[in-house]
Amino acid sequence: MASLLYVSLCVLVSAILSDTPSAQAYRIWLPRNASAHEGGSFMQVHLHRDNETGSKRFEGSSPYVKMQYHMGPVLTSSIRVYIIWYGTWKSSQKAIIRDFLHSLSGPVSKRRPTVGAWWNTVQLYTDQTGANISKSVVLAGEVYDHYSHGKILSRMTVQEVIRDSIRNGSLKVDSCGGLYMVLTSEDVQMQDFCRAVCGFHYFTFPSIVGYTLPYAWIGNSALQCPEYCAYPFKVPSYMIGFEPLKPPNRDVGVDGMVSVIGHELAELSSNPLINAWYAGNDPTAPTEIADLCEGIYGTGGGGSYMGSVSVDTYGASFNLHGIKRRKYLVQWIWNPIVNYCTGSNFMG
């Protein structure tokens, strides 16, 4: 059970520390048991060029959603991300993800909408003092792990991977704004991957790692289930007649990962110890700020419709601009002010 003890700027310890199955933020873009009709409806994406106008600004509204603050800490100090590249990664793949993270609070692109503006919605969430989630998100460290725990991982071995990187000095302990991300390559299998999750977040157990540290795992689904975890860049076989969208960085698996990384990063920042922002009263099954907006990427999104997104001259779909002329397709986030899903590419 999550402690409601308030922790100030630094996420230190909480009386959460029992080795129970992780409360998690996870999602599958499209359920395996979706009907052809449901799948087809989801793929009825309206693509537009050069920001044609639409009619709706806020999406995903529901009178039944009650996002609540449960008095725990959020990350109000500078957020530092530590990546563990587990498995085999191409330089081009790492660059796509690095550039996304650098785009969150890096140099502002002249092209709109931006990744940084997308993060503004996450910043609306506050702690008990009224302090907002930090605008500063930096990539503070990286380490490469060449299958130290094999090619089949579990939730517990993910924590062991983090522990080993700290013990051998590759990464430091950062309990004051540090987030740890284990990113696994396309040939690594993970407990519940594809079957139930594309990514998840929680905090490490002192009994395993020695410290309580917020962390996330996200996998590259390219060889295992791109039709679910990299959707809409791949589509299930039963969706006859529907073509997948082209990924903006020409890498189906990694472009699919980027939205999951954004999803988990937003929830790690607003609910790092599973006792801050989520809907409902059960921390073992929280509905968090990105869960509410899964599958919504633009104006008009909701139900089984992803909304309006842009198309570049290559034919790739995107909704955000990043540094180095990068483009990304990233889901929207629940806005606690208007109680809708919002994104920086809204058209109103």
Q: Is 256 strand, coil or helix?
A: helix
Contacts of residue 294, Cβ cutoff 8 Å, sequence gap at least 6: 27, 29, 263, 331
How much helix, strand and coil, in percent to the nearest 5, is found in the chain?
Answer: 20, 20, 60
CA 265 to chain CA centroid, nearest Å: 5
Kindly report whether the peptide bond that precedes residue 232 is cis, defined as omega within 30 degrees of 0: yes
**What is the rounded distance in angstroms from the CA atom of residue 90 to the CA atom of residue 159?**
24
Residues 93 and 329: their CA atoms lie apart, in Å, by 15
Two structure tokens written together for 258:
């980027």
Give me the pLDDT at residue 239, please.
79
Ranges of H-type helices in the chain:
36-42, 91-105, 115-122, 155-167, 226-229, 252-270
**Nearest-angstrom CA–CA distance, 332 and 319:** 10
* Residue closest to 271 by CA, chosen among 321, 210, 336, 338: 336
Whole-number Å distance between alpha carbons of 298 and 310: 9
Q: What is the spatial distance between Cα 118 and Cα 335, in angstroms, rounded to a whole number?
A: 11
Structure tokens at 245: 């969208």
Say if CB 11 and CB 204 are below 8 A apart.
no
Residue 291 is predicted with a pLDDT of 93
DSSP state of 156: H
Contacts of 313 (CB under 8 A, 6+ apart): none
Model-level pTM?
0.86
Nearest to 324 by CA among 7, 101, 32, 76: 101
Answer for the pair 329, 248: CB distance below 8 angstroms, yes or no.
yes
Sign of CA dihedral 122, 41, 318, 86: positive
pLDDT reported for residue 342: 92
DSSP classification of residue 179: E
Whether the bond into 63 is cis, omega within 30 of 0: no
What span, in angstroms and rounded, lies between the C-alpha atoms of 238 and 230? 16
What pLDDT does residue 6 have? 34
CB count within 10 Å of CB 150 equals 9
User: With 0-12 CB in 10 A as exposed, 13-18 as middle and 19+ as buried, what is 348?
Assistant: exposed
Q: How far apart are CA 169 and CA 176, in angstroms?
A: 18
Per-position pLDDT tens, the chain of length 348 = 333 333 444 644 443 443 444 544 444 444 444 433 333 333 333 343 333 333 334 455 555 678 999 999 999 999 999 999 999 999 999 999 999 999 999 777 778 999 999 999 999 999 999 999 999 999 999 999 999 999 999 999 999 999 999 999 999 999 999 999 999 999 999 999 998 899 999 999 999 999 999 999 999 999 999 999 999 999 888 878 878 999 999 999 999 999 999 999 999 999 999 999 999 878 888 999 999 999 899 998 876 678 899 999 999 999 999 999 999 999 999 999 988 899 987 775
Closest CA to 301 of 30, 56, 53: 56
Our measurement of the distance from residue 39's CA atom to the centroid of its chain's CA atoms, rounded to an integer in Å, reads: 22
